Amino acid sequence: MCYRAVVTGAGGFIGHHLVKYLKGKGYWIRGVDIKKPEFGRTMADEFILLDLRDRDNCLKATDNVEEVYQLAADMGGIGFITAYHARIARNNTLINLHMLEAARINDVARFLYSSSACVYPQYLQHSADVVALKEEKAYPADPEKGYGWEKLYAEELCKYYREEYRLETRIVRFHNVYGSLGSYEGGREKAPAALCRKIALVQDGDTIEVWGDGEQTRSFMYVDDCVEGIHRLMQSDFADPLNLGTDRLVTINELVQIISEIATKRILTRHDLSKPQGVRGRNSDNSRLRKVLDWEPSVSLEEGLSHTYHWIESELEERMNGRLVLELEEIVG
């Protein structure tokens, strides 16, 4: 059977990968975003540029499909999500509410909502040696400002739509997804991509800037594992929020060391304590993930970072070579 699905946020990092993954499963895919993918062409059967803050556009996006993968969001790295609380909360709340209502009106069979580990209470994340976060620990609520609050509210909306309208919703809480084909500069990039870029741009023995003291901790999941987990959850019968991440906790300083070894460079660090660094520690508890899906992410941090670093390095080299060609053409001309 060929399922018809829409992937919103298909011009972004995870959405671009998800379209490719679902096409490999035999899906017919409509990709929707306010922009086309920045790195490479989409594999979607149909790609529509739509602003999903508008209700009518959400109705167009969800027309004549069976599954909705709602990944569209205004978001970015820690610098971005700590700077634009009102903008992020407004834009994403409009998108999520209109997408749910459009899915109900168009009688969609299943709706997957991409939430975030940012919904977890900040009072549980004051220590770098953090206790892994179980799904039920989201309450009593104290999520991150703006981004975390709107994610938690949208989770509740999914529950309400399931209870009152029988819309089959799925809720996935991402934990720090990284990989190729994502932003690596400009303010929206996440820590792994930012560090890969910084290390790729310096010479052996040089110094890079690290936000905070580098002892803050996180777990990181490679994008290939992410999209497989998304699809597995969508096909399951599990309707409550589910963590999707790895449970290997590393410091940002350790992340720098791993990337440095991949790059075969000796890198020194200069720590900037004035920059945003988020919660002190965050890790995924995967016990429910293993039970529900009989599966969990398997790509090691070293393997995933190797793919990511070499892709970012090649992107930077290609851009630099392009500039050199232009400069030579100007000189010759």
Catalytic residue numbers read 147
Which fold would CATH assign to domain 4-179+222-244? Rossmann fold (3.40.50)
**Whole-angstrom distance, CA of residue 1 vs CA of residue 48:** 24
**In the numeric block, which tokens belong to residue 70?**
């709602």
Tens-place pLDDT, residues 132-190: 999 999 999 999 999 999 999 999 999 999 999 999 999 999 999 999 999 999 988 99
Tens-place pLDDT, residues 213-227: 999 999 999 999 999
Instruction: Please count the other Cβ atoms lying within 10 Å of the Cβ belonging to residue 67.
Output: 24
pTM of the model: 0.94
Terminal-residue alpha carbon distance, the chain: 58
- Return the domain boundaries, the chain: 4-179+222-244, 191-217+249-283+300-326
**Whole-angstrom distance, CA of residue 268 vs CA of residue 96:** 43
Is 254 a residue whose pLDDT tops 60?
yes
Residue 249: alpha-carbon gap to chain centroid = 18
Taking CA 92 as the corner, what is the angle to CA 112 and CA 60, rounded to the nearest 5 degrees?
Answer: 65
Tens-place pLDDT, residues 119-130: 999 999 999 999
Q: Which CATH superfamily is domain 191-217+249-283+300-326 in?
A: UDP-galactose 4-epimerase, domain 1 (3.90.25.10)
Taking CA 315 as the corner, what is the angle to CA 313 and CA 320, rounded to the nearest 5 degrees?
Answer: 95
Residue 319 is predicted with a pLDDT of 87
Tens-place pLDDT, residues 162-172: 999 999 999 99
Is 2 a residue whose pLDDT tops 80?
no
If you average pLDDT over every residue of the chain, what do you get? Answer: 95
pLDDT band at 69 (very low <50, low <70, confident <90, very high): very high
Is 330 a residue whose pLDDT tops 80?
no
**In the numeric block, which tokens belong to residue 320?**
């630099």
Residue 187 is predicted with a pLDDT of 86
